């Protein structure tokens, strides 16, 4: 079971990471799409928001066993596209933990910024299987 006292917590912001054209192109290639490398796809930020939550995932007091996780939902609210050269930072919030039939449903909200200006908000919902 996840530690529900974490609801409302915010992780420290990630250090700014400069997005490269190669990164954008590599993400597009992994999806089987084409990209000129200048503008990232709408889902590109997953490659940054999930690692931004590693401190939460790796925290033994939080109680998340990633071998029991099923990705349930991903939502985006974009202010503008991510472009090559943007130095993005991620701020992860533990938005909710709900228990349903002995399983936990975790939702995080990650605010993505460039120079303090909003670029996107990304919600990730994970289903965490409880003990059988």
pLDDT per residue, tens digit, the chain (132 aa), is: 999 999 999 999 999 999 999 999 999 999 999 999 999 999 999 999 999 999 999 999 999 999 999 999 999 999 999 999 999 999 999 999 999 999 999 999 999 999 999 999 999 999 999 986
Beta bridge pairs of residue 8? none
Predicted TM-score (pTM) above 0.75: yes
Domains in the chain: ranges and CATH: 4-128 (3.10.129.10)
Q: CA-to-CA distance for 20 and 71, rounded, in angstroms?
A: 27
């Amino acid at each position: 079971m996840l530690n529900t006292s974490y609801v409302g917590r915010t992780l420290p912001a990630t250090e700014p990471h400069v997005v490269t054209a190669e990164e954008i192109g590599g993400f597009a290639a992994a999806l089987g799409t084409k990209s000129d490398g200048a503008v990232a796809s709408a889902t590109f930020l997953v490659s940054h928001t999930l690692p931004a939550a590693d401190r939460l995932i790796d925290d033994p007091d939080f109680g998340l066993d990633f071998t029991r996780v099923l990705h349930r939902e991903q939502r985006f609210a974009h202010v503008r596209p991510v472009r090559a050269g943007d130095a993005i930072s991620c701020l992860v919030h533990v938005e909710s933990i709900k228990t349903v039939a002995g399983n936990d449903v975790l939702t995080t909200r990650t605010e993505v910024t460039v120079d303090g200006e909003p670029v996107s908000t990304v919600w990730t919902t994970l289903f965490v299987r409880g003990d059988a």
